[in-house]
Structures are given as C-alpha cells and as structure tokens.
Amino acid sequence: MRIAVIDSGINAGLFDLNEYVIHSTGFYINSQGYIAESNMLPVRNLHGTAVAMIIRHICSDVEFISVNVLDENLSTDGRVLAYALSQVFDYRPDIIHMSLGTLKRRYIFPLKKIIKEAKKLNVLLVAAAENSGKTSYPAYLNGVIGVKSGFFENYKQYSYKKGFFLAPDGTKGIAHIQEVPVMKNSRGTSMSAAYISGHLAEILKKYKNFSANDATRILINTLKQKE
C-alpha cells in the first residue's frame, strides 16, 4: 500500500524507515513569494516520522511518499498545503494522510477540489481533526475520513461516532518510538489519525479491488461485529 504522508517529512535515517520511504519531497514559500518544491528540505520536527512509524506498525506492507510541508513548529502556509495535495496524486497513492489541518474557511474551496480528484482516482483522504474540538479542514469536509482522539486499552482499538473515527492519542505499544523521547511523548489527534490510516491500509491490502468507500465501510462494519 502506498501512503503519501503530508506532514513535517519522514526521517528515513531512523531505524528501518529507509526501507519504507520510496520518495521524499517538500514544498515551501521561496524568497520571491512563490511555492517551490525541493527534495532537500530538512526534517525539522519528528512529528511526521512518528506518524509514519504508527502507520507502519499497523500495516507493515506499506510504501511512504514523504511530503514535507511543516516547519519546526508544525506550521505551514495554507497555500502550500493545498498545492502539495494537488501534486501528490502524481505518485499514485492509495491513501493521502494528513495529521494536520486549518481553521481558515478560505481554504475550503481548494480542498474540495482535492477531494473531488481523490474520489475520481479512488484515493482515500485521512485527516486529523483539531485537538481543541473546533471545526477544522479538511477533516470536517465530506469525502474525507476525519479522525478524533479517544481513550483505548491498546493501539489496535478504535471506534466510530458521529461521522468521525476515534483512535488512541498516544504512541504506547508502537515499536521503537519509545526509544526517542520527543516521539514517545507525541499525543493528540495527529497520532490518532495515523492509526486509522494503518487500519485502512490493512483493509485495502486484503481487498485489493475495493474502492475507498468500501474500505471505510468495512472498517465501520468490523466495529459492529465486535460489539
């Protein structure tokens, strides 16, 4: 399964991630004020690396496209996010993962264009909701699998409520993360979304001809069967 992780980049030098990251690129605003692409952008925060390690822990048969758009403070320009999303389809991902979002409504229109393209190409869009509970985008848009955090006994558990998946908000039980303090302490919906992307990747791997909607439905139905 190929997953594009739109985040702070994945540090492929940690552990065995170099075996899973098949391409790295990044987008930023250059000195002339234009959006530029570079495969030399440094990973300034291990947030995206923690996300990748969670996904890989859930689904080991995965390839990552690392798309670096966040700085050391996990901030970016909304234009960079929208543009990066528009370009990532070239890498033919099965899932586009976003442990990020914006509260600004002006980005709804360009994000809806991305959602339309993803539906056309049968690509799943997974996005973390805002930790504060405020309406954020793209997590709250139709056509996106929005994820919030919840409290669970182990990393394999998740639930579904009012149109959102809920998953663990930490990294307990994830191989190697506990060895890196800054990642060990990572918490919030960003981590929760990574678990859901991992579960969806497992479903798509098992049912190769299923659509994105089919995969989401199976994830929900699996919960109902356990109840």
Q: Model confidence over 4-33: pLDDT tens digits?
A: 999 999 999 999 999 999 999 999 999 999
For residue 226, name the pLDDT band (cuts at 50, 70, 90): low
Q: What pLDDT score was predicted for residue 173?
A: 87
What residues contact residue 51 under an 8 Å CB cut-off, 6+ apart?
5, 7, 97, 99, 190, 191, 193, 194
SS3 189: helix
Closest C-alpha among 140, 135, 122, 136 to residue 200: 122
For residue 223, name the pLDDT band (cuts at 50, 70, 90): confident
**Do residues 119 and 92 make contact, with C-beta atoms less than 8 angstroms apart?**
no
Closest C-alpha among 203, 51, 45, 61 to residue 124: 203
Least trusted range by pLDDT, from 25-29, 66-70, 183-187, 223-227: 223-227
Question: For the whole model, what pTM was predicted?
Answer: 0.94
Q: Which residue has the tokens 């302490």?
A: 185
In the chain, what is the greatest distance between 2 CA atoms, to the nearest angstrom?
56
pLDDT (tens digit, 9 = 90+) per residue, 30-89?
A: 999 999 999 999 999 999 999 999 999 999 999 999 999 999 999 999 999 999 999 999
**Do residues 203 and 219 make contact, with C-beta atoms less than 8 angstroms apart?**
yes
pLDDT (tens digit, 9 = 90+) per residue, 111-124?
A: 999 999 999 999 99
pLDDT (tens digit, 9 = 90+) per residue, 196-220?
A: 999 999 999 888 777 777 888 888 8
Closest C-alpha among 45, 97, 32, 114 to residue 76: 45
